[in-house]
Amino acid sequence: MRAWPIFCALFLGATHAWGVEPFRLEVDGEMPDGCPAAEALRGQIEKRLGAGVLAEDAARRVRADLRRSGDALTGTVTLVAPDGRPAGARTLRAAPGECGELVQAMALAISIAADPLQALAPPEPPAVPVDPPPPEPPPLALAAPPEAPPPPEPPPLALAPPLGPAVPPAAAPPETLDLYLALGGAVSIGTAPALAPGLTLEIGTRGDWWSVAAEARGDLPSGAQVAGGEVRASLLAGTLAPCVHAGPWAACALATAGVLRGEGVDLADARRVDAPYLAGGVRGAAEWPLTEALGLRFWADARAPLTRVTLRVDEDVAWKSPAISMGFGFGLTGRL
């Protein structure tokens, strides 16, 4: 999961009306020969923000990691908080022969986060030379002056020099797609006669602001006491969850299909029935990074079953699934 808005907000807090607060740049990685990543990155940042913006003793740090990963070059920019924890990260990718373009994109991302106005301003125009003032006329002579020569022709009009080279708009970095796996625990209310603990396993793909995941869920049997015994229910289902993301927060739509199993225990006419379970719902989630590859996620959802299940003992209703069921859970996510 990425936290690029947090990275920008923290860096923008260091910008004030008279300049940019210096920060320390740490460059690491294993780049191919002929790719001066560290020198080029520092030069690009100082060219945009000024020579004094990089300082080795600055409290704020930015870590730039450039390396070759398979058939692509990757560049990761990480903001490091004063206590040493990563506060946000952004990963850019380029083809193996585009090292210079990758370095320029990383320098532009850091410069815009530090001072968007100064980073995007065009360079100052060259000074226009000023013609010297005309010489003073000679003093008047008492003798009759000679016949004045014809006035010189005026010089041709010259085009004014341009204000500066046009700065092309920076190309937006390509959207990155991450494949992730999540494992978690959950508690359900409304899928069984009592609270039902369970496990979830999820695999999905994540873009910059969206994700799509497939989730498998299994609840342990949970029951309630009735006269002479107990009735239990358990759920085994799969869910498709498309989501939209804003920072650490996410909102998802849910489509669930599975089997709800009910059974009687220690009853005279104990039986077991399997009923189809179809439901739609919504989910709210929040995720925070623990490392570059791992994150911690919490979620809550509400589902409305399309079919409701009733468990009976003789002719009496022992339990009927409600119109709305709730679920709460947490788990670990890992990028693959």
| Domain end point (choices 74, 100, 120) | 120
Q: Are residues 115 and 184 in the same domain?
A: no
Instruction: Give pLDDT tens digits for 55-73.
Output: 888 777 888 888 887 778 8
Q: How many CB atoms lie within 10 A of CB 281?
A: 20
Q: Using alpha carbons, select from 169, 208, 173 the residue that is nearest to residue 94.
A: 173
Q: Residue 253 belongs to a domain with what CATH number? A: 2.40.160.20
**pLDDT-wise least confident of 10-19, 39-48, 124-133, 208-217:** 10-19
131 within a domain of the structure (yes/no): no
Give Dmax (Cα) for the chain.
Answer: 145
Q: Are residues 234 and 109 in the same domain?
A: no
17 within a domain of the structure (yes/no): yes
Q: Are residues 207 and 290 in the same domain?
A: yes
Helix (H) or strand (E) holding 328: strand 325-335
126 within a domain of the structure (yes/no): no
Q: Are residues 193 and 280 in the same domain?
A: yes
Q: Are residues 109 and 254 in the same domain?
A: no
Q: Are residues 207 and 91 in the same domain?
A: no
70 within a domain of the structure (yes/no): yes
Helix axes 99-114, 4-12, angle to 10 degrees: 50
Residue 176 has pLDDT above 70, yes or no: yes
Q: Are residues 207 and 66 in the same domain?
A: no
| Domain end point (choices 71, 93, 120) | 120
What pLDDT does 32 receive?
A: 66
Phi/psi at 97 (nearest 5 deg)?
Answer: -90, 10
Q: Are residues 190 and 304 in the same domain?
A: yes
Place of tokens 């989501």: 243
Q: Using alpha carbons, select from 249, 236, 252, 253 the residue that is nearest to residue 188.
A: 236
Q: Are residues 206 and 309 in the same domain?
A: yes
136 within a domain of the structure (yes/no): no
| Domain end point (choices 120, 152, 168) | 120
**Alpha-carbon torsion 47, 50, 53, 55, what sign?**
positive
Q: Give the Å distances, CA to CA, from 303 to 190, 222, 235, 255.
A: 9, 19, 13, 9
**Is 10 within 8 Å of 21 (Cβ atoms)?**
no
Q: Using alpha carbons, select from 16, 26, 30, 41 the residue that is nearest to residue 84.
A: 26
Residue 95 has pLDDT above 80, yes or no: yes
197 within a domain of the structure (yes/no): yes
Number of domains, the chain = 2
Residue 22 has pLDDT above 80, yes or no: yes
Q: Are residues 186 and 327 in the same domain?
A: yes
Q: Residue 87 belongs to a domain with what CATH number? A: 3.40.50
Instruction: Give pLDDT tens digits for 246-303.
Output: 999 999 999 999 999 888 787 777 778 899 999 999 999 999 999 988 999 999 999 9
Strand 24-30 versus strand 61-69 pairing type: parallel
Distance CA 54, CA 193 (A): 63
Kindly state the average pLDDT of the residues 189-195: 92
Kindly state the average pLDDT of the residues 3-21: 48
Phi/psi at 25 (nearest 5 deg)?
Answer: -105, 125
Radius of gyration of the chain (CA): 34
**Structure tokens, 84:** 């040493």
165 within a domain of the structure (yes/no): no
Q: Are residues 315 and 212 in the same domain?
A: yes
Domain containing residue 18: 4-120
Q: Are residues 92 and 198 in the same domain?
A: no
Q: What is the dihedral of CA 42, 43, 46, 52, to 10 degrees?
A: 70
Please enumerate in sequence order all residues whose Cβ is within 8 A of that of 34, keeping only pairs 6 or more positions apart, or say none. Answer: 99
Instruction: Give pLDDT tens digits for 23-60.
Output: 888 888 776 666 777 788 888 888 888 877 888 887 77
169 within a domain of the structure (yes/no): no
